[in-house]
Structure 1
Amino acid sequence: MHTSSASPVASPFATDDPVLSLIGNTPMVAYPGVENERVLCKMESMNPTGSMKDRIAMGILTEAVRTQNIDTVVEASSGNTAGAVALVANRLGLRCILTCPEGSSRQKFGYMKAFGAEVHECPRVSSDDPNHYRATAQRLAEENDGFLMNQYYNQSNPGVHAQWTGPEVWAQAGDRMTHLVCAMGTGGLISGTARHVKEQAAEAGRPVTVVGVDAECSNIATAFYDEPERPYDTSVEGLGKGGKLPTMWFEYIDEMRRVTDDEAFDQARRAARENGMLIGPSAGAALKIACDISQSDPAATVVTIICDGGDQYFDTLFGV
């Protein structure tokens, strides 16, 4: 598996902390399931808590400490963001309060607890219920004079990727990349990364096509194509949303493709069993589309971002 030899890109959030300095500059490797290195995988699973969410936690919280002198951070998350916030808060000396729905992944709880976060498990109720985990986070932030990170609305979510992930992707593959493919949850990763890539590609005088990957029963693609909404229902954690969020910058995305739950899980399993690459199911969804593009266009070199690793999904992927 070939690994990119591009020089490291200086982080805009440089730190002397020995743990936080491990975030970013993740490798880009050729996917063994496609010949001639035509699908390149940016391995965000190599970050300390195993996902690209370490970047937004690092970027948003270091900036908040610098500019707002915060001492408490609050966030609502049932997924990778919770562990990332817990880690960064631990290293920055911040009190960390996290809210999540009942039944969230025990692996994700492990990250929260390991790094000393206060975890509030909330009932699974409709989003307009005052006991919903996002409403609870808002209330706890007010009661504790805390900084609500708010990844679903904070423009620093895509902003961090525009400053950090995008430059790394361009440095590693800008001379070869014809397509950028990312799974969409909050949309921050693809939006920020795509903005930088599009700007650099325009200066280089050649196009890069940006493809967002949505769940089949989700409303990101329906919003993008101005289609009627559909009931939101997916088993792939971190993929899809009930509607468009402010962190989705559609102006930098060229097209949207949908993936079924079965396709996402199947691609993640095959990546591990056939090619030794352990990835999460949302990364499986993106990899499926990257492989589809490569198969249909032999001239394409597709970069896809592996947003997290499969070790956090052993139960759902392999029944362990």
Structure 2
Amino acid sequence: MAAVHESVLDAIGGTPLFRLARLGAGLAAPVYAKAEFLNIGGSVKDRAALSMVLAAERDGLLKPGGTIVEATSGNTGIGLAIVGRRRGYRVIAGLADKSSAEKADILRAYGAEVVRASTAVPQEDPRHLFKVMERLTEEIPGAWLANQYDNLANPDAHLRTTGPEVWEQTGGRVTHFVAGVGTGGTITGTGEYLKEASGGSVTVVGADPESSSYGGGDGSPWYVESIGHYLHPDTVEDRWPQALRSEAIDSYERIPDRESLLTARRLAREEGILAGPSSGTAVAAALRVARQLGPEDLVVVLLPDSGRSYLSKVHSDAWMREWGFLEDGDGLRSLLEAAGPLVPVAADATVGEALEVLRDVPGGVAPAVLARTERPYGVAATEVVGSVSRAALEAALADGTVKPGDSLGALLGPALPAVGVGQSPAEARAVLGGACRSVLVLVDGRVAGVLPREVLG
């Protein structure tokens, strides 16, 4: 008989486990997925939202008629909107500009006010999402900033609920727990409970985007929402969340974007589970872990949210192709391989340095990118801030507008249009239009090369 609740808030938690029989076929160790998308708000963040609001009420930080303010990639804001509106609060959700449009629509549907701001600037920048929400909290009487990254009621929710559920559902047989790391609350609270319940025998594995700095990447951008730790090149102090207790995590599996996104799509097609891209990251990591285990082991992987919030992204063939994650046939691959290596120019370079870089570049045009000393994962498309033209720089030097030691500054041109490697030459020509002479080609969301108009036929 189905449960009967007095409120939707009573339905938060108690999510089932599903065995991933098809994706885990051939593995000795069974892999079970904890379906957090079956929470009332569609994600694991409902647990943290309820815990944080109740703690704020208990501590006198949130009073009747107050306003809940939060910076979110979407899911925590949705959870806070459900809990907050149900308990009579105004809710303002600051949404990262890279979050899906569906999340903004869902937030508004639940009665939250949505403020869009960037997370692609240094953490100290007043335009950064966190700074914007801090200012709003200061300006609005009775406002409370949930601050999920540093709020200890976040991991406490999972210490009290998620961890005990996993232990009970597996009859204490779980040997490995795998989850993505965003604020760190889910993996910290759940992991700490499982370690204590098992006498320290449960292994906790963080699933992380390949370039995220949590698992050892350089902090450059990736394309899986809600997990990982981004580090802008100009950030002064790299702060990790207080909700994350690193000692709870035994190891990390670093998953490339393409593997994450394709695994999320496989979950829907092969297991009947429509989940988000971070679930793809977690499952890809869990499968890696399970391949090294035996039948006496049992892996539980946490699926944070539903794929319904990403129908315009990971579950859209068009989006996947445009960002270079899907390839049907040759596309632009052969043209790209013939074009030679990519040559970017740092946006903070001098005119003389840029001309030196551009000296042997075919077509004399290159993308201008945020400066990094090393680029082991390539140039993310979101790091391209403009373009640099050899002809424009030479003309500016000739007429005395600039000197070789001057910064590129105002000489940067607009960013070149971009296409995915799986798109056709005809699609690339269409993107170019009549004004542009070159197009960027993306492979897995990163710039792999520049193709001039003449090679597109």
| Higher RCO, Cα 8 Å, sep 6+ | 1
Task: Give 1:79's aligned amino acid.
Answer: G
Classify 1:140/1:306 alpha carbon distance in 2 versus 1 (closer, same or farther; 3 Å): same
Match of 2:221 in 1: 233
1:178 partnered with 2:175: yes
- After TM superposition, the structure 1 stretch with the greater mean CA deviation from structure 2, 258-267 or 278-287, is 278-287
Task: Give 1:129's aligned amino acid.
Answer: D
1:161 CA drift (Å): 1.0
Q: Aligned Cα RMSD in Å?
A: 2.0
Match of 1:41 in 2: 33
1:155 CA drift (Å): 1.5
- After TM superposition, the structure 1 stretch with the greater mean CA deviation from structure 2, 241-250 or 295-304, is 241-250
Q: Deviations over 1:140-164 (max 9, x none)?
A: 1111131110011112211111111
Contact 2:164 2:193 in 1 (8 A): yes
Aligned residue pairs, count = 298
Distance (whole Å) between structure 2 residues aligned to residue 179 and residue 65 of structure 1: 35
Q: Deviations over 1:164-195 (max 9, x none)?
A: 11111111114221100111111110000001
Distance (whole Å) between structure 2 residues aligned to residue 281 and residue 287 of structure 1: 10
Task: Give 2:44's aligned amino acid.
Answer: M
Provide structure 2 residue ranges, at least 5 long, that are not aligned to the other structure: 231-237, 318-457
Which of 24, 44, 50 is residue 52 of structure 1 equivalent to? 44
Match of 1:22 in 2: 11
Q: Deviations over 1:190-228 (max 9, x none)?
A: 0000011110001xxx71111111110010012xxxxxx
Q: Deviations over 1:270-304 (max 9, x none)?
A: 11112212111111111112112222212321001
Distance (whole Å) between structure 2 residues aligned to residue 172 and residue 231 of structure 1: 36
Distance (whole Å) between structure 1 residues aligned to residue 184 and residue 7 of structure 2: 29
Match of 2:310 in 1: 313
Classify 1:178/1:134 alpha carbon distance in 2 versus 1 (closer, same or farther; 3 Å): same
Match of 1:188 in 2: 185
Distance (whole Å) between structure 1 residues aligned to residue 97 and residue 181 of structure 2: 23
Distance (whole Å) between structure 2 residues aligned to residue 78 and residue 262 of structure 1: 20
Distance (whole Å) between structure 2 residues aligned to residue 288 and residue 268 of structure 1: 9
Task: Give 1:91's aligned amino acid.
Answer: R
Distance (whole Å) between structure 2 residues aligned to residue 281 and residue 176 of structure 1: 28
Contact 2:307 2:315 in 1 (8 A): no
Secondary structure of the equivalent of 1:316?
Answer: coil
Task: Give 1:183's aligned amino acid.
Answer: G
Which of 104, 114, 120 is residue 119 of structure 1 equivalent to? 114
Please give the residue correspondences for 1:265-280 in structure 2 after superposition, counting only pairs within 5 Å: 265-280=261-276
Which of 204, 207, 211 is residue 210 of structure 1 equivalent to? 204
1:219 partnered with 2:213: yes
Match of 1:283 in 2: 279
Identity between Structure 1 and Structure 2 (%): 38
- After TM superposition, the structure 1 stretch with the greater mean CA deviation from structure 2, 159-168 or 28-37, is 28-37
1:72 CA drift (Å): 1.6
1:126 CA drift (Å): 3.3
Contact 2:183 2:241 in 1 (8 A): yes
Secondary structure of the equivalent of 2:252?
Answer: strand
Match of 1:298 in 2: 294
Which of 241, 252, 256 is residue 256 of structure 1 equivalent to? 252
Provide structure 1 residue ranges, at least 5 long, that are not aligned to the other structure: 1-7, 9-15, 223-228
1:103 CA drift (Å): 5.1
Match of 2:105 in 1: 110
Match of 2:421 in 1: none
Match of 1:99 in 2: 94
Secondary structure of the equivalent of 2:312?
Answer: helix
1:140 partnered with 2:136: yes
Contact 1:220 1:240 in 2 (8 A): yes
Match of 1:156 in 2: 153
Secondary structure of the equivalent of 1:234?
Answer: coil
1:17 CA drift (Å): 4.5
1:78 partnered with 2:73: yes
Contact 1:39 1:303 in 2 (8 A): yes
Distance (whole Å) between structure 1 residues aligned to residue 73 and residue 277 of structure 2: 16
Task: Give 1:76's aligned amino acid.
Answer: A
Q: Deviations over 1:213-250 (max 9, x none)?
A: 1110010012xxxxxx6142110001210363222111
Secondary structure of the equivalent of 1:292?
Answer: helix
Task: Give 2:275's aligned amino acid.
Answer: I
Which of 118, 125, 130 is residue 126 of structure 2 equivalent to? 130
Secondary structure of the equivalent of 2:198?
Answer: helix
Contact 2:188 2:244 in 1 (8 A): yes
Secondary structure of the equivalent of 1:164?
Answer: helix
Classify 1:266/1:61 alpha carbon distance in 2 versus 1 (closer, same or farther; 3 Å): same
Distance (whole Å) between structure 2 residues aligned to residue 234 and residue 18 of structure 1: 38
What is the TM-score when the length of structure 2 is the normalising length?
A: 0.62
1:61 CA drift (Å): 0.3
